[in-house]
Chains A and B, each alone.
Chain A
Amino acid sequence: MTQHAQTQTGDGGAGTAHAGHPTPLTYFKVAMVLAAITAAEVGVFYIEGLGRGIIPVLAILSGIKFALVAMFYMHLRYDARIFSWFFVGGVLLAISVVMALLGLFQFFV
């Protein structure tokens, strides 16, 4: 039996091993950064001279947005590491599926 090793989850049952949540001001700042990055993405869209160079630019900008939401709003930065592994594992698998499908259907050719 492993009953003695069991731990009661705190935080109203959330069981998240928080190291302190950010303040509402931090959430607001993150929202403003997200809005600014979205504006930058749209701005970049209108620069025709970029050609295929837009792909890494858009990938980096949307990657930053994705990471900000996951880390601050989804609390992955403050929660137990195992939650991050579950999510990052899913994201990596999804990227693999996308790349495999694109390769299979000769998207890069």
Chain B
Amino acid sequence: MVEATAPHHAEAETTSTGLSHRKLVMWAFLGSDCMFFGSLIATYLIYQGKSKVGPFPEEVFSIPVTSVSTFVLLMSSMSMVLAYAALTRGNVKSFRVWIFSTAILGMTFLAFQVFEFRDFANHEVEIDCTSVETANLTPLEQKLAAKCGEGDLKIVEQHGLTPRTNLFGTTFFTLTGFHGFHVTLGVIWLLSLGFLSFKGGVRPETNLDVDLAALYWHFVDVVWIIIFTVVYLYGVFPGI
């Protein structure tokens, strides 16, 4: 039997385990969310290489760009943990600086994702008709190369990737889209805490609120660590 009491301050609670039940529930939620993302990653891997038409991953992915966005998300985790550390030290001003930095880094990551999705949707295939070497071309490029007529210098056609284009598009956008949705919720949560701190809603004694938000944010980060490796690096590695 567990009863909530507030002997010293509003946030203290008495539990049979000596552990915060809110935090326990958060860890249980994160554990279950692992299975959610696990299913999406498995689905992506199962349908990998089974698309009949392009664009294919190697045609649209830009590893340098995604590496930068990955770096941004990793740094946001550092600023989040510094926000929590500042609050536990009682430095609310420093907490605000770090929590808003985290939110800005999160929004930067989302901007990268929007840019990437837009780039994929407007993907263009260009063929230089003057020097066509069909051996190095993808099936889609070979199809376009066949259209090269006499006097044509190059052929450009738009072959955008959307969730309806092929199996790769469906599984990729579902997986990364759900991750982006998690990041969006996290940014809203962080901004809420930041603005709440101006009204006295976030204090060193109530740091559990920030601790829970931090756990969620770091979870979003570890999920991206896996997605970046499995989808982007392993998915388009030329040696496999």
Taking Cβ atoms with an 8 Å cutoff, the residues of A that contact B are 1-3, 5-17, 21, 24, 27-28, 30-31, 34-35, 38-39, 41-42, 44-45, 47-52, 54-55, 58-59, 61-62, 65-66, 69-70, 72-74, 80, 82-83, 86-87, 89-91, 93-95, 97-98, 101-102, 105, 107
| Interface contact tally, CB-CB below 8 A | 210
Question: Are B237 and A54 within 8 A (Cβ)?
Answer: yes
Would you list 16 pairs from A and B whose C-beta atoms are within 8 A, ordered by A residue?
A: A7-B17, A9-B12, A9-B14, A12-B9, A12-B204, A12-B205, A13-B205, A17-B19, A35-B71, A41-B228, A51-B240, A54-B233, A54-B237, A58-B229, A94-B37, A97-B38
Q: How far is the CB of A76 from chain B (nearest CB, A)?
A: 9
Q: What is the bound-complex CA distance between A69 and B217, given in angstroms?
A: 11
Contacts A73-B81, A107-B45: A82 and B19 contacting too (C-beta < 8 A)? yes
Q: Which chain B residues lie closer than 8 Å to A82 at the CB level? A: 17, 19, 24
Q: Is B27 an interface residue (CB 8 A)?
A: yes
Contact of B88 among A21, A51, A54 (CB under 8 A): A21
Question: Are B42 and A97 within 8 A (Cβ)?
Answer: yes
Contact of B74 among A38, A54, A61, A91 (CB under 8 A): A38
Q: Is B39 an interface residue (CB 8 A)?
A: yes
Q: Which chain B residues lie closer than 8 Å to A15 at the CB level? A: 13, 15, 18-20, 23, 208
Contacts A42-B67, A74-B215: A14 and B20 contacting too (C-beta < 8 A)? yes
Q: How far is the CB of A83 from chain B (nearest CB, A)?
A: 5
Contact of A58 among B63, B85, B233 (CB under 8 A): B233
Q: A7-B17, A54-B234, A82-B17 are in contact. List 6 more A-B contacts (CB 8 A).
A: A6-B16, A31-B78, A69-B222, A86-B27, A90-B34, A93-B38
Q: Is B123 an interface residue (CB 8 A)?
A: no
Of residues A9, A62, A97, which shows the largest number of chain B Cβ atoms within 10 Å of its Cβ? A9
Q: Which chain B residues lie closer than 8 Å to A54 at the CB level? A: 233-234, 237, 239-240
Q: What is the bound-complex CA distance between A13 and B71, given in angstroms?
A: 32
Contacts A62-B226, A94-B37: A74 and B218 contacting too (C-beta < 8 A)? yes
Question: Are A107 and B46 within 8 A (Cβ)?
Answer: yes
Question: Are A27 and B78 within 8 A (Cβ)?
Answer: yes
Question: Are B34 and A13 within 8 A (Cβ)?
Answer: no
Contact of B31 among A27, A72, A86 (CB under 8 A): A86
Question: Are A90 and B30 within 8 A (Cβ)?
Answer: yes
Question: Are A83 and B229 within 8 A (Cβ)?
Answer: no
Q: Which chain A residues lie closer than 8 Å to B5 at the CB level? A: 8
Question: Are B42 and A2 within 8 A (Cβ)?
Answer: no
Q: Is B187 an interface residue (CB 8 A)?
A: no
Contacts A54-B240, A86-B24: A66 and B14 contacting too (C-beta < 8 A)? no
Contact of A14 among B30, B41, B208, B234 (CB under 8 A): B208
Q: Which residue of A lies closest to B229 (CB)?
A: A62
